[in-house]
Chain A
Amino acid sequence: MIDMQKMLAQIMASTIPPDKTDLDSGTVASVVITGISVVFIGLIILILLVTLYGKIFEAINARAAAAKEAEEKAAKAKAEKAAEGEAIVKSEPESVTAAGDGIEDGIEEEVVAVIMAAISAMSAETGKKLVLKSVRTAKPQRPVWASAGVNENTRPF
């Protein structure tokens, strides 16, 4: 492979000087044949190698996917078991909404439910019990007019 250029030169018997005119048909034919075949050989070698490593990676990916699937299955089974035994997900939101006092006025129950659901999903995975104690609106860092001013001044950047 490394000697392809030497081989090329040998096939051509000799290289053609750039200023040579009236090339004879034999020379031209050999340029065409060697040219096309070298391009094809080069790219066919690449096809073989790329196909080969493509196959290897496909196999690895398939195995990884299978392993992941098995893991997911196991995790699911575990979670189901946990849910049956302790019923964390069911009991927690009730207790929080019942507590009520930690939740600021004006925040809808749906919002609390969504936050709680997210927390429950996390706790089901790790097995830790997490409790939502209060929900408050965050204070804006700047008054509205000040932020408008900052926006205006920094817009070009």
Chain B
Amino acid sequence: MTLIQSFLDTLSALASESGFAGFFADGGWKNIIMILISFVFMYLAVARGFEPLLLLPISFGMLLTNLPFAEMYHPEFWDYLTVTERDGTVNDHFIDYSRILEHGGLLDILYLGVKLQVYPPLIFLGIGAMTDFGPLIASPRSFLLGAAAQGGIFFTFVGAAILGMSAADCASIAIIGGADGPTSIFVSSKLLTANSSNSVGTIALAAYTYMALVPIIQPPIMKALTTKKERSVVMGQLRPVSRLEKLIFPVLVTLIIALMIPSAAPLVGMLMFGNLLKESGCCDRLVKTAQNELMNIITIFLGVTVGATTQADKVISLDFGKVMILGVVAFGLGTACGILLGKLMYVISGKKINPLIGSAGVSAVPMAARISQKVGQEEVPTNYLLMHAMGPNVAGVIGSAVAAGVLLAIVK
């Protein structure tokens, strides 16, 4: 009898310690819903090909973090504490890193790279090593289109403020309009606090979902804002750019932007460092690592940990709905601003510039440029706008890094 009793006791103890019991605990139903949501994102990534390289790690991170008792990620470890520093100043943004290192789970440790802003600049290093700034150097006026498309960021800031969000939430949601995942994560991980209604994860989810939806969001706006005649403008060939010009460019951009807006230095600096490595032609091994291995490793870490920050109470809330709505508004406004400036340049240049290249000013490299090409070819099948659109496209990357720097300089 005692044998059976102890057998049953052990069984029930095991059952109560298992993750299944966690689902029935207080608030456990939220975990179930989150796991189901993670399945939706996995489906979107695998079956629909929505930015799978990021959405798959993010969705799996969501799954891992919502397993009860697995203790892989502890949101409470990342709450800000108020402490008095050694020099007597009161710091209300103190994170107890020693506690995280001692008691943190795997995802806590990996999340350090997000919180300490290590991963986004490293991703930018890889992007820089893959980017050819030639079209931008050949046609510097593309910078204007890259700047205009950042209008979406700042106008969305207004929208978020009207909805009564905190400054950190406004800035984090607005930066989605830059159509740049690493930049969004960079800004939101720096600004969002425990009091914010959003998390880095929800911002990243919105940003990457919309980046995947660029081919659906952009064309209707592009067509609505331009006439058939404007879309039919055929642009000539770009001038060839010498190697020395390509070598000077990254150094020049780093100096100007980092001196102007120091808070943009980590992103722009690493982007340009990667590009200099590529253009130098003498660091092949480093370039290959930055483009492939390093980039892939960081993408895995970034995706899985960002996914881990999406807890039930942050996603199953009205605020996440607001993020999704404002995010698509930000994207749309960015596209519209780029197109409108493109139209202005079309008039000023004497109808030589196709306004369609303006929409490529939102970063989303190279998808946005491909959309410009595709929409242009619907009017004139022999029109190759791709290289012309790559100019505003890569300018958009620099532009959104600058916009991120500005937001970080204002909100702190």
Contact = CB atoms under 8 A, between A and B. Distances in A.
A23 B399 contact: no
Contacts of B256: 1, 42, 45-46, 49
Interface in A5-56: 5, 8-9, 12, 15-23, 28, 31-32, 34-36, 38-47, 49-51, 53-54
A51 B242 CA distance: 14
The 8 A-B pairs with the shortest beta carbon distances in the complex, nearest first, are A18-B168, A50-B140, A43-B143, A43-B147, A16-B167, A35-B154, A32-B154, A4-B260
B161 interface: yes
B409 A8 contact: yes
Contacts of A34: 406, 410
A58 interface: yes
Contact of A42 (B138, B165, B191, B257): B257
Given A1-B259, A18-B193, A35 B158 contact: no
B55 interface: no
A23 to B, nearest CB: 5
Given A35-B154, A39-B403, A54-B140, A46 B409 contact: no
A47 B257 CA distance: 12
Interface string B25-56: 00000000000000000000000000000000
Interface string B41-77: 0000000000000000000000000000000000000
Main DSSP-derived SS at the B contact region: helix
A47 B143 contact: yes
B141 interface: yes
Contacts of B257: 42, 46
A18 B143 contact: no
A31 B244 contact: no
B252 A46 contact: yes
Contact of A39 (B150, B155, B167, B262): B150
Label chain A's interface by main secondary structure.
helix
Interface residues of B, number: 55
B253 interface: yes
B163 to A, nearest CB: 10
27 contacts: A1-B256, A4-B259, A5-B261, A5-B263, A15-B412, A18-B167, A18-B191, A18-B192, A18-B412, A19-B193, A19-B195, A23-B161, A34-B410, A35-B154, A35-B157, A38-B260, A38-B261, A42-B147, A42-B257, A42-B260, A43-B398, A43-B399, A47-B140, A50-B249, A51-B140, A53-B252, A57-B245
A87 to B, nearest CB: 40
B340 interface: no
A44 B144 contact: yes
A138 interface: no
Contact of B167 (A17, A45, A47, A51): A17
A61 interface: yes
A43 B153 CA distance: 16
A2 interface: yes
Given A19-B168, A54-B137, A36 B151 contact: yes
Interface residues of A, number: 40
Interface of A: 1-2, 4-5, 8-9, 12, 15-23, 28, 31-32, 34-36, 38-47, 49-51, 53-54, 57-58, 61
A9 B408 CA distance: 11
A6 to B, nearest CB: 10
Given A34-B410, A46-B143, A50-B252, A18 B166 contact: yes
Contacts of B233: none
A150 to B, nearest CB: 28
Given A40-B144, A42-B147, A44-B147, 9 more contacts: A5-B261, A16-B412, A17-B167, A17-B411, A18-B166, A19-B196, A32-B154, A34-B410, A50-B143
A49 B251 CA distance: 12
A40 B409 CA distance: 16
B389 to A, nearest CB: 17
Chain A CB within 10 Å, residue with most, of B136, B158, B191: B158
Contact of B399 (A5, A39, A57): A39
